[in-house]
Amino acid sequence: MINIPKGTKDVLPQESYKWQFIEKVARETARVFGAQEIRTPTFEHTEVFLRGVGETTDIVNKEMYTFLDKGDRSITLKPEGTAGIARAFVENGLVNSALPAKFFYITPCFRYERPQAGRLREFHQFGVEFLGSYSPDIDAETILLAKTFLEKAGVKNITLYINSIGCKTCRKEYENALKAYLNQNYEKLCPLCKDRLNKNPLRILDCKNDECKKITEGAPKILDYICDDCSNHLETVKKLLDAVGVEYKINPNIVRGLDYYTRTVFEFVSENIGAQGTVCGGGRYDGLIKELGGTDTPGIGFAVGIERILLLLENTGVKIENPNKVKIYFAPMGEAEAVKAFELVSTLRNSGIACDCDHMGRGIKAQFKYADKIGAEFVAVIGSNELAEGKVKIKKMADGSEQTVEFDQVKSFLEKA
């Protein structure tokens, strides 16, 4: 037997309807917010992620699936959705389209990580990217979209954390203050953070190491350093969220992993899925499009991990209905009856009714067993009497009640049932 690669998962029929539900909620939420679907390739030139995600991030440093193709090009499987979309925005000249351009996507992502619950090597994200607006109301709208999606999906008890990481100018000042503080504690930092200190000190605030956490507790806070413009921007985002009743907590330690974030950053965190508590992360990235060679264009977006949402729903006892079950199963008791069953099934399917009949030449008892296993709501028995009279005996599986229905009345019976 050949096994599935580590960190990947088969989604079997007993799970796939849950995925369909999440994807439907995602599409519907995006639709009412005016976002359109964008699909970019599963792999890009590695350069897209080096520049679009940033060389000091965990993703680029250690998590990418990068390989040379047969033409000796460096190719990388997408570890996240934003960089590819930014590349597509630039390449297709979408700066000349109606702005803000509002995109959403549902995509597999690939990261070479240590697999655990809620952490896979192939996982899936639903995300949005809104490009072209500097206005704080698009930040609030992005956050509201994420919140609406999570609510409609059935997620409860989730905390929204918001922060501003300032702009290029004021962040420099903060970084200097932070570096000065961290330098005093240099010896106690983990090896990774020692390395981060000069490359991307903000990321140290995000370190999961206990010792580093203790040190960063006493660190200078970015909100004391951001400039008036950045501060006003944050205040307006807060005001708009207040206006629509979105609750949030300001958390100066939220910095996000990616390099090109500016101003607003946010995360939705749950206590119900253990260590992998962040189900959604997002923020503003005003420098990204330019970084990828485009006309300076601001942007904001978020991504949620679909596996983590499903885990969260499962851990909090949220049930999702399976809409894909067969409505009616036809159980013929002989050869001539089987032809009739085949015919009836075929007519009902043309009307969009999910139905099935015997394909195994089983006896009636075994057919009922099968119908029960596949979750059929009704079983229609066709014996020789029924065939002669042009009727079926329909049994409702939930309560065992029976009713005799003429062949051409089955459809209207099911519609009323």
What DSSP string runs through 152-164?
A: HHT--SEEEEEEE
> What is the residue whose two structure tokens read 């995600």?
53
Beta-carbon contacts of residue 343 (< 8 Å; ≥ 6 apart): none
Bond from prior residue into 100 cis (ω within 30 degrees of 0): yes
What DSSP string runs through 362-386?
A: --HHHHHHHHHHTT-SEEEEE-HHH
Which sign does the torsion angle of CA 400, 403, 408, 410 carry? Answer: negative
Closest CB 89 distance from ligand ATP, rounded Å = 19
Whose Cβ is closer to ligand ATP: residue 102's or residue 308's?
308
Q: What angle do CA 16, 20, 23 make, to 5 degrees?
A: 135
Whose Cβ is closer to ligand ATP: residue 118's or residue 332's?
118
Closest CB 173 distance from ligand ATP, rounded Å = 25
Provide the token pair at 235: 């205040």
Closest CB 408 distance from ligand ATP, rounded Å = 51
Provide the token pair at 193: 């953070």
- Positions that interact with ligand ATP (CB under 6 A): 80, 111, 113, 118-120, 123, 125, 257, 276, 278-281, 303-305, 307-308
Provide the token pair at 333: 């008791």
Q: What angle do CA 9, 14, 15 make, to 5 degrees?
A: 45
Closest CB 153 distance from ligand ATP, rounded Å = 13
Cβ-closest residue to ligand ATP?
305
Query: What is the chain's alpha carbon radius of gyration, rounded to the nearest angstrom?
Result: 27
Looking only at the bridges linking them, the beta strands covering 402-406 and 391-396 are antiparallel
Provide the token pair at 152: 């409609």
> What is the residue whose two structure tokens read 């499903």?
310
* SS3 call for 126: strand
Whose Cβ is closer to ligand ATP: residue 189's or residue 311's?
311
> What is the residue whose two structure tokens read 């959403």?
104
Whose Cβ is closer to ligand ATP: residue 257's or residue 383's?
257
Closest CB 325 distance from ligand ATP, rounded Å = 29
Cβ(202)–Cβ(252) below 8 Å? no
Q: What's the Cα-to-Cα distance from 118 to each of 65, 123, 151, 153, 265, rounded to whole Å?
A: 19, 9, 20, 17, 22
Cβ(298)–Cβ(132) below 8 Å? yes
Closest CB 125 distance from ligand ATP, rounded Å = 5
Looking at the chain, how many residues does it have? 417
Query: Which residues partner with 265 through β-bridges?
Result: 163, 283
